[in-house]
Amino acid sequence: MARKGEDKAYVKELTSKREDFAQWYVDVIRKTDMADYTTLKGCMVIKPYGFALWEGIRQALDQRIRRTGHKNAYFPLFVPESLLKLEADHVKGFAPEVAWVTKGGSEELEEPLAIRPTSEAIICSIYAKWVQSYRDLPILINQWANVVRWEKVTRLFLRTTEFLWQEGHTCHRTQEEAQEETIRMLEVYREFAETELAMPVLYGEKTDSEKFAGAQKTYAIEALMADGKALQAGTSHNLGQHFAKVFQIKFLDEDQKEKYVWQTSWGVSTRLIGGVVMMHGDDYGLALPPRIAPVQVVFVPIYFSDSMEEVIRKVKELGDKLGAYRVELDLRDTQTAGWKFNEWEMKGVPLRIEVGPKDIKKKQVVMVRRDTREKTFVPEERFVETVGEQLEDIQRNLFQRALDFRKDNTSHTDDYGEFKEIIERKRGFIVSGWCGDPLCEAKVKEDTKATIRCLPLEELDATGARCLACGKPAAKRAYFARAY
């Protein structure tokens, strides 16, 4: 298995990212065995490699959720129609996407059951039984679950009929506690995305037209994908007392007065996997951040028949020294070394280590980074230390590269003509003035397909700014973009 003559056939079927981003995205997911289509339109199979990536994301986020005092539970998949319809705005917001069960076996159900598009209705009906006194508060519960939304247009991981997510649902004694919880979880999402996914995000409040159905306020983290579109990567909702009053979630406070609880809900989903693919991938396939990569280090032995035993023994010896990392030893004898190089590069493994007879003699290994494709020769005595350093540097580099891309693709204008030109030619985030009128927001969306992604928590100076649509003095500066 010579190191020269790397087999390029593995990447021939990968569409150029620049020429056709949408097809490139599908090609990468299919080629890396992350997911597959099924006979049921809009549904996907998450294959072992893709699910391992989700497990890494889930584990890292779950640790953070638990550290904030939340506990995991599980609630029913089915929601009785009467419960879902109790909250008019909520059911109206999800009505086109709700899937219904009307028969159990061969018998018609007395009441249709919705397959949860989200769990507020079923959870609130249960919380109404659990909450009696201020001593029962706060309730801090999260669940990892699947949900169903009957989408008309689907795309692997980004938007599917059934998908996986986590959804937190909390109850609080005061309005201040609920708002504090809402912002705390938004910050958990921001830190998680940037630390684990190497995904820089904007964070702020959604406008009324973009907020969650039934919420008092919705906040989100927004990431910029490599094609210049925004991706809503997570949301945190202050539900106020809206659902509490609908579902009668009341408690006797310390002053002996009966009061309604204040609520929040928040969640992220498997669309984060799509975000990682689009943000970091290239024409060679995935480029995964080491913190969430299913395989952080892959060993590829380079040998001929007379050196096979020696090289494999050395690879196993070195692999045993990396017990702190997720390691794969590619000992297959059915593929060339070049094929393996391309396959693991396509799968986005952060660090590849090559070992051949010459390397053994020189007491070294060859390390190849996925992010830069840079090759270095590392003395065996510094091998373990260098692996740790390289993985940390790859994580930092992927984040910085994405951050630089966002900076380079963020524009500023209050001129509507210039705005239209940028959104067509360059895309990206555009910081522009908005008067606060929903009609102006709707006009921009109708004219350009761009929406207000968020109103940043740290408000941008709007002095002298003009509203894009009407030209009146702007109340705020907002981040606009086309989005997934």
CA distance 141 to 42: 30
For strands 99-104 and 364-369, give the pairing.
unpaired
Q: What is the DSSP letter of 176?
A: H
Say yes or no to pLDDT of 108 above 90: yes
Mean pLDDT of the chain: 95
CA distance 66 to 31: 35
Region 41-63 average pLDDT: 97
**Total residue count of the chain as it appears in this document:** 484
Region 290-308 average pLDDT: 95
What is the model's pLDDT at position 211? 95
| Token pair 């702190």: residue | 324
pLDDT one-digit tens code per residue, 321-375: 999 999 999 999 999 999 999 999 999 999 999 999 999 999 999 999 999 999 9
Question: 47: exposed, middle or buried (C-beta count within 10 Å: 0-12, 13-18, 19+)?
Answer: middle
pLDDT one-digit tens code per residue, 15-26: 999 999 999 999
C-alpha triplet 460, 214, 242: angle, nearest 5°: 105
Cβ(150)–Cβ(114) below 8 Å: no
The superfamily in CATH containing domain 297-391 is Anticodon-binding domain (3.40.50.800)
% the chain with pLDDT above 70: 98
For strands 351-355 and 297-301, give the pairing.
parallel
Task: Identify the CATH number of the domain defined by range 410-481.
Answer: 3.30.110.30
- Using 50, 70 and 90 to split pLDDT, how confident is the model at 9? low
pLDDT one-digit tens code per residue, 64-100: 999 999 999 999 999 999 998 887 777 777 778 899 9
pLDDT one-digit tens code per residue, 219-245: 999 999 999 999 999 999 999 999 999
For strands 44-46 and 35-37, give the pairing.
antiparallel
- The CATH class that applies to domain 17-280 reads alpha beta
Question: 116: exposed, middle or buried (C-beta count within 10 Å: 0-12, 13-18, 19+)?
Answer: buried
Sign of the dihedral through C-alpha 238, 240, 243, 249: positive
- Residue 255 tokens read as 């002053």
Q: Which of 344, 354, 368 is nearest to 303 (CA)?
A: 354
DSSP codes of every residue in 197-255: S----EEEEPPGGGSPTT-SEEEEEEEE-TTS-EEEEEEEEEEETHHHHHHT-EEE-TT
Cβ(113)–Cβ(101) below 8 Å: yes
Cβ(156)–Cβ(45) below 8 Å: no
What is the model's pLDDT at position 95? 79
Cβ(24)–Cβ(17) below 8 Å: yes
% the chain with pLDDT above 90: 92
Region 274-280 average pLDDT: 98
Say yes or no to pLDDT of 202 above 70: yes
Domain residue limits, the chain: 17-280, 297-391, 410-481
CA distance 70 to 79: 24
Say yes or no to pLDDT of 3 above 60: no
Quick one: which H or E segment has residue 269?
strand 262-269
- Residue 292 tokens read as 């969430």
Q: What is the DSSP letter of 380?
A: G
- Residue 299 tokens read as 């060993």
Region 370-383 average pLDDT: 97
Residue 122 sits at φ, ψ, to 5 deg, of -70, -40
Q: How many helices (H) and strands (E) does the chain have?
A: 14, 23
pTM for the predicted model, two decimal places: 0.94
Region 383-401 average pLDDT: 98
What is the model's pLDDT at position 151? 87
